[in-house]
Amino acid sequence: MKVTTTPANELALTNLAYCSISDLSQFSVPGTDLFLANVSDFFILSFSGHERIQDGTIALNAVQRRHARVSIDDMVTVTRFVPPENFDLTLLALELEFVRKGTTKNEEVDALLLSTQLKKKFINQVLTVGQKATFEYHGTNYIFTVNRAVVTEGQDRFDGIERGMICKDTYFLFETSNANGIKIINQREAATSKIFKGKEFNLESLGIGGLKKEFVDIFRRAFASRIFPPHVRNKL
pLDDT digits (tens, 9 = 90+) for 108-157: 999 999 999 999 999 999 999 999 999 999 999 999 999 999 886 554 55
Report the Cα 8 to chain-centroid distance in Å: 22
- The domain spans of the chain are 2-80, 89-233
> For the whole model, what pTM was predicted?
0.79
pLDDT recorded at residue 142: 94
Inter-residue contact 163 to 88 (CB < 8 Å)? no
d(C-alpha 37, C-alpha 66), whole Å: 18
Mean pLDDT, residues 189-204 taken together: 47
pLDDT recorded at residue 161: 77
**pLDDT tens-digit readout, 20-53:** 999 999 999 999 999 999 999 999 999 999 999 9
- State yes or no: pLDDT of 70 exceeds 70: yes
pLDDT recorded at residue 181: 87
Q: Domain 2-80's class?
A: mainly beta
Q: What is the mean pLDDT of the chain?
A: 83
Architecture of domain 89-233: Roll (3.10)
Strand partners of residue 151: 89
Same CATH topology for 2-80 and 89-233?
no
Of 81-95, 168-182, 222-236, the poorest mean pLDDT is in 222-236
Beta strands in the chain (DSSP E): 2-4, 17-19, 36-39, 43-49, 57-59, 78-80, 89-98, 107-110, 126-128, 132-137, 140-151, 163-165, 171-176, 182-185
- State yes or no: pLDDT of 60 exceeds 60: yes
pLDDT recorded at residue 222: 52
